A and B are shown apart, each in its own frame.
Chain A
Amino acid sequence: MSVRGITPGYRDEKRARTLVTPEGLALPITIAPRTTRAGALIIDVMIVMFTLIAFILIIYNIAWGLIEGTGLDLDDMSKGALEFLGICLALFVFCFWYGYFLVQELGPRGATLGKRIVGIRVAARGGTRLTPEAVIARNLLRDIEIFYPLVFLYSLAMLADRGEPIGVLGWVATGWFALFLLFPFFNRDALRAGDVVAGTWVVERPRAKLAKVLSTEGAASAAGSSEVTGVRYAFGEAELSIYGEKELQTLERMLRDSPPEALQAVHATICRKIGWDPGAGDERAFLEAFYAQLRAKLEADLRFGRRKADKFA
């Protein structure tokens, strides 16, 4: 749920990257934060684990039913049925373990269920096509990054529990685990080992809804006047040349999502800046009119190649 940034200014500059499409258009993309990815992984592992446990329980119950059905007489029961259950179990575990990530990341969303929930997806680094080979490569490495070290540490802990000497092995395993687990922290793009090998990275899924047109409503529209006072606000050249694009877009954001109390403060600030006497009760209409006229001026300048980045420019 991290992509709600309306303006590029919202984004974390460190995670912003540019992707150049074959049409030569530069698109901003954002690298997914490490915490989000960890969250996605935890969700995915939970889903896999619970599915596998459920499946094993079902198989176990069926097998138990089989054994009970024969009156606990092991010679009497059908070996074929139990064997079939065993095959189902072994194949299901293998296929689900590897297939869960593979099939979903190859799909049109490029994300597993966990990634979808947190709003990220896999993409090929450098704006190339995401290929099946890349998805396979990045998922094959997941095992050594997380699961083998965990299993290994667990078995070491069990050994130590029984009083067997494990010596330096535990430290080696811990170091190994740390090396791969912390790998994303040692590079700019938060790549894990699998991403390095596959040439992929994990980016935030863009999800912006088309917001309303501001210049058609209220006091911002062409012939708009305040609903409260019926006044039509008009600003002069000097008053409109104080602010730049940055302030304009901040004002836009406030008009779209801020509560009236916040608008009062903005209203007061702007009035002070342009030397008007701040009234009260008609802030929204004032700000809408100011926004529309400021934008009209700045966009007109833009067409002549003059940009004013912010009020200091």
Chain B
Amino acid sequence: MKAPVLSSWFGRGQVEASPDIESAALRSDRFRLEREGEWKRLEAILVRMEKGGLRRIADDDLVALPTLYRTAASSLSVARETSLDAATLAYLEALVQRAWFQVYGPRMGFVRWLRGFIFGGWSRAVRELWLDICIALFVMVAGTIVGWLLVAQDEAWFFRLFPGGRSDPRQPGASREELLQVLRHDEGAAGLAGFAAQLFSNNSGVCILAFALGFAFGIPSLMLLVHNMALMGVLLWLYNGQNLVVELAAWLSVHGTTELFGIMLSGAAGLHIGRAMAFPGKLPVLEAAAAAGRRSAVVMVGVVIMMVVAALLEAYPRQLVEDTGTRFMIGGTMLVFWLSYFILYRPAPRPDAIATPEAAA
């Protein structure tokens, strides 16, 4: 009989006049007619809030919102005890629920969240993952050693582990000159910005993968770490053959201290979730996973930022600075910066800042 969808599209703006309260035969309908003005005002505010955030709403409407919400909520509990009008009850339930989503919805915008995140939230989340970071670090070191040992025993492993094709100069038996050539800079700065953008989206993708894989009890995250670090072990072995380890380390350290740190954090974040699901402790599994997931998500936003920094470092200073000492200095400075930011930077959490998972749960 009715076409609710069409009427809601075309019927906007026409407000039907409420019937006269005295004409209602039922007490519960009189109750409704007395209050429906407030409900409709609340609904109008909600529609505007859902559409465009808080800016379009008049101040007195915003002030009235919590009161209107409580009025609607108390109307609902009264109506449940006194009214048998199913349509009104359904409307009130929907209205209170919608208002609840707005009144108790995300309290801060993205910018405010980001500010809280940079000034304290990020480093706090990283510190909360200390055990997972230790495990990830151990696994990464082990992966490097495994890579080295594998190739040292059998050179065939080199081609299995190293992705470069046959045209890559970095191969067993390459001369010292060829290997050094790779570590030199290219000509000028042309093309480096594009290179940085590519590196960034590529590396961030790998990090997000390492994090997301943690869902399977963290094991795939660790495997990904081992695989990536075995590659580094292989590279170290190759350059060691020509006594170029220091040069290689300097070359890698420019961006590597940031990038590997980021990869370690994303692996640790994945592991954190996996560990929470495997050993939830006193909490139910779902709650433990959710708490761990929220903590790890904060770390992951940080990892994306670190990848931006790493890509910039990889594209510019690493390609433009050739001196081994300077390269070490840049890499070392970044490492010291990250470590002091994560470990030493401990501002007191603002009460309204990032809701920690414990507080939210």
Residues of A that sit less than 8 Å from B by CB: 1, 3-8, 19, 21-23, 25, 27-29, 79-80, 83-84, 86-87, 90-91, 93-94, 103, 106-110, 121, 123-126, 128-134, 136-138, 140-141, 143-144, 148, 191, 193, 196-200, 205-211, 213-217, 220-222, 224, 245, 248-249, 252-253, 256-259, 292, 295-296, 298-299, 302-303
**Knowing A83-B194, A141-B212, A144-B209 touch, does A207 contact B294 (C-beta < 8 A)?**
no
Closest to B96 in A: A27
Q: Is A221's CB under 8 angstroms from B94's CB?
A: no
Query: A245 touches which one: B32, B73, B84 (CB < 8 A)?
Result: B84
**Knowing A193-B215, A215-B24, A256-B87 touch, does A143 contact B19 (C-beta < 8 A)?**
no
**Knowing A148-B209, A198-B293 touch, does A103 contact B2 (C-beta < 8 A)?**
no
Query: B360 touches which one: A29, A129, A205, A257 (CB < 8 A)?
Result: A129
Q: How far is the CB of B349 from chain A (nearest CB, A)?
A: 14
Q: Is A208's CB under 8 angstroms from B194's CB?
A: no
Contact count band on B:
35 or more
Query: B355 touches which one: A86, A107, A131, A245 (CB < 8 A)?
Result: A131
Q: Is B294's CB under 8 angstroms from A134's CB?
A: yes
Q: Is B110's CB under 8 angstroms from A5's CB?
A: no
Q: Is A93's CB under 8 angstroms from B26's CB?
A: no
Q: Is B106's CB under 8 angstroms from A216's CB?
A: no
A sample of 19 inter-chain contacts (CB < 8 A) reads A8-B90, A19-B100, A21-B73, A27-B93, A83-B191, A132-B108, A132-B110, A134-B297, A143-B208, A144-B212, A191-B286, A197-B290, A199-B291, A199-B357, A206-B97, A210-B36, A213-B32, A216-B23, A295-B26
| Cα(A213)–Cα(B88), bound, Å | 9
Q: Is B294's CB under 8 angstroms from A143's CB?
A: no
Q: Is B23's CB under 8 angstroms from A222's CB?
A: yes
- At the interface, yes or no: B319 with Cβ under 8 Å from chain A? no
Query: B193 touches which one: A5, A87, A200 (CB < 8 A)?
Result: A87
Q: How far is the CB of B109 from chain A (nearest CB, A)?
A: 8
Query: A106 touches which one: B27, B110, B201 (CB < 8 A)?
Result: B110
Q: Is B110's CB under 8 angstroms from A22's CB?
A: no
| Cα(A205)–Cα(B360), bound, Å | 23
| Cα(A104)–Cα(B18), bound, Å | 36
Quick one: which of B13-29 are within 8 Å of A by CB? 18-20, 23-29
Q: Choose among B24, B87, B198, B289 the residue with the greatest number of A CB atoms under 10 Å from its CB.
A: B87
| Cα(A90)–Cα(B194), bound, Å | 8
Q: Is B197's CB under 8 angstroms from A87's CB?
A: yes
Q: Choose among B85, B196, B300 the residue with the greatest number of A CB atoms under 10 Å from its CB.
A: B85
Q: How far is the CB of A282 from chain B (nearest CB, A)?
A: 19
| Cα(A200)–Cα(B294), bound, Å | 10
**Knowing A90-B198, A108-B49, A133-B298 touch, does A209 contact B8 (C-beta < 8 A)?**
yes
Q: Which residues of B contact A124 (CB under 8 A)?
A: 360
**Knowing A215-B26, A216-B29, A257-B1 touch, does A129 contact B104 (C-beta < 8 A)?**
yes
Q: Which residues of A contact B292 (CB under 8 A)?
A: 197
Q: How many A-B residue pairs have CB under 8 A?
A: 245
Q: Which residues of A contact B95 (CB under 8 A)?
A: 206, 208
Q: Is A144's CB under 8 angstroms from B355's CB?
A: no
**Knowing A121-B101, A213-B19 touch, does A198 contact B91 (C-beta < 8 A)?**
no
- At the interface, yes or no: B39 with Cβ under 8 Å from chain A? yes
Closest to A27 in B: B97
- At the interface, yes or no: B347 with Cβ under 8 Å from chain A? no
- At the interface, yes or no: B354 with Cβ under 8 Å from chain A? yes
- At the interface, yes or no: B33 with Cβ under 8 Å from chain A? yes
Q: Which residues of A contact B198 (CB under 8 A)?
A: 86, 90
Query: A221 touches which one: B24, B33, B300, B357 (CB < 8 A)?
Result: B24
| Cα(A298)–Cα(B49), bound, Å | 38
Closest to B360 in A: A128
- At the interface, yes or no: B40 with Cβ under 8 Å from chain A? yes
Q: Is A197's CB under 8 angstroms from B293's CB?
A: yes
Q: How far is the CB of A192 from chain B (nearest CB, A)?
A: 10
| Cα(A295)–Cα(B32), bound, Å | 15
- At the interface, yes or no: B240 with Cβ under 8 Å from chain A? no
Q: Which residues of A contact B289 (CB under 8 A)?
A: 196-197, 199
Q: Is B1's CB under 8 angstroms from A296's CB?
A: no
Q: How far is the CB of B39 from chain A (nearest CB, A)?
A: 7
Closest to A249 in B: B86
Q: How far is the CB of A308 from chain B (nearest CB, A)?
A: 10
Closest to A207 in B: B94
Query: B25 touches which one: A27, A83, A103, A296 (CB < 8 A)?
Result: A296
- At the interface, yes or no: B155 with Cβ under 8 Å from chain A? no
| Cα(A125)–Cα(B86), bound, Å | 27
| Cα(A183)–Cα(B28), bound, Å | 46
Q: Which residues of A contact B204 (CB under 8 A)?
A: 94
Q: Which residues of B contact A1 (CB under 8 A)?
A: 5
Q: How far is the CB of B282 from chain A (nearest CB, A)?
A: 17
Q: How far is the CB of A115 from chain B (nearest CB, A)?
A: 13
| Cα(A8)–Cα(B206), bound, Å | 46
Query: A140 touches which one: B25, B211, B291 (CB < 8 A)?
Result: B211
Q: Is A91's CB under 8 angstroms from B84's CB?
A: no
- At the interface, yes or no: B53 with Cβ under 8 Å from chain A? yes
Q: Is B5's CB under 8 angstroms from A215's CB?
A: no
Q: Is A23's CB under 8 angstroms from B73's CB?
A: yes
Q: How far is the CB of B163 from chain A (nearest CB, A)?
A: 14
Q: How far is the CB of B80 from chain A (nearest CB, A)?
A: 9
| Cα(A292)–Cα(B28), bound, Å | 11
| Cα(A80)–Cα(B287), bound, Å | 51
| Cα(A143)–Cα(B360), bound, Å | 26
| Cα(A210)–Cα(B43), bound, Å | 10
- At the interface, yes or no: B4 with Cβ under 8 Å from chain A? yes
Q: Which residues of B contact A5 (CB under 8 A)?
A: 90
| Cα(A93)–Cα(B76), bound, Å | 47
Q: Is A29's CB under 8 angstroms from B97's CB?
A: yes
Q: Is A131's CB under 8 angstroms from B360's CB?
A: yes
Q: Is B97's CB under 8 angstroms from A19's CB?
A: yes
Q: Is A215's CB under 8 angstroms from B29's CB?
A: yes
Q: Is A21's CB under 8 angstroms from B84's CB?
A: no
Q: How far is the CB of A73 from chain B (nearest CB, A)?
A: 17
Q: Is A210's CB under 8 angstroms from B360's CB?
A: no
